[in-house]
Amino acid sequence: MNAILEVSQLTKRFKNMTAVNGIEFSVEQGSCFGLLGPNGAGKTTTLEMLEGIVVPCDGRILYKGRPICKTDYQQLGIQFQHTSIQDHLTVKETLSLFSSFYPDTMAMDELVELCQLSSFLNQDHRKLSGGQKQRLLLALALINKPDLIFLDEPTTGLDPHSRRLFWQLINRIKQSGKTIVLTTHYMDEAEFLCDTIAIMDKGEIIALDTPRKLLTKHFHHSLLKLPDTALTEQQRLTFNAKQQRDVVIIDTEHVELTLTQLIDAGIPLTGLQVKSANLDDLFLKLTGHNLG
């Protein structure tokens, strides 16, 4: 595949602080690229530079192989965390209003079907549920037929069912050939949707690859989780156990052998969980804290 977006040595400084420090990555056409990071990592600043909202201090952004320009920024699709919409308008009227801002737009029927808006098309947008509101905002981001779409934490605050429905919509959009750059605080969301993820911390990208390759690189086969009260400090050192909230985690390549060693050490196995590593575990290992 070809890269639709290429970032090289992208840097942003604010007075004496470097928010983004020479990061590099590319986004392949038709893929979903996840940008992950805690507050203060530089993720939001990076996104705003890509969207044309913030001007970089240094570096280069290429869109479709050439330096991105004002016309390109106008053709992007962006779903912000918070978007102000004119009061007293129905969903259909809102779509019509935003359509009037662009010379070439997606057909209304196609947009309604894609984002599943038909059941509340004539409802005042202020009375929508959280999931319905996010689907409307997604439709507004798609209305100008963009090839590249930015979704900034689109499912924050939604219930699990609404989140899953939104994931299905994003996959449908990706399958149509569009490219998505996604930020999220949900690791299961990133693992489900993203072809590639970049984890940022302190203004730099500290990991960049497919979720599967990153997990294979940084973990063995299984994680053993025990209550944090089960092991003494010395036992934690012996088993190289890492603290995560109220549990300790042991990364092991040989589950049965490790379990035997725990039993021999007199460690109670009450509350034991055996699981494969996920992006939550990866993020904690790389940054030292949880995301969210």
User: Is pLDDT at 3 greater than 90 in this prediction?
Assistant: yes
Q: What 8-state DSSP symbol labels residue 39? A: T
Residues 6 or more apart whose Cβ sits within 8 Å of residue 250: 223, 224, 225, 226, 239, 240, 241, 242, 258
| Per-residue model confidence as pLDDT tens digits over 87-140 | 889 999 999 999 999 989 999 999 999 999 999 999 999 899 988 999 999 999
Full DSSP string of 113-173: HHTT-GGGTTSBGGG--HHHHHHHHHHHHHTT--SEEEEESTTTT--HHHHHHHHHHHHHH
C-alpha to C-alpha distances, 14 to 19, 21, 25, 59, 201, nearest whole angstrom: 7, 12, 22, 15, 17
More confident residue, 255 or 32: 32
| Per-residue model confidence as pLDDT tens digits over 182-235 | 998 888 899 899 999 999 999 999 999 999 898 888 876 788 999 989 999 999
User: Is pLDDT at 282 greater than 70 in this prediction?
Assistant: yes
For 28, the token pair is 């392949």
| Per-residue model confidence as pLDDT tens digits over 48-86 | 999 999 999 999 999 999 999 999 998 999 998 777 788
Residue 60 is predicted with a pLDDT of 96
CB 272 within 8 A of CB 225: yes
User: Is pLDDT at 274 greater than 80 in this prediction?
Assistant: yes
Say how far apart CA 190 and CA 62 lie, in whole Å: 24
Task: Tell how strand 77-79 and strand 148-152 pair up.
Answer: parallel
| Per-residue model confidence as pLDDT tens digits over 142-155 | 999 999 999 988 89
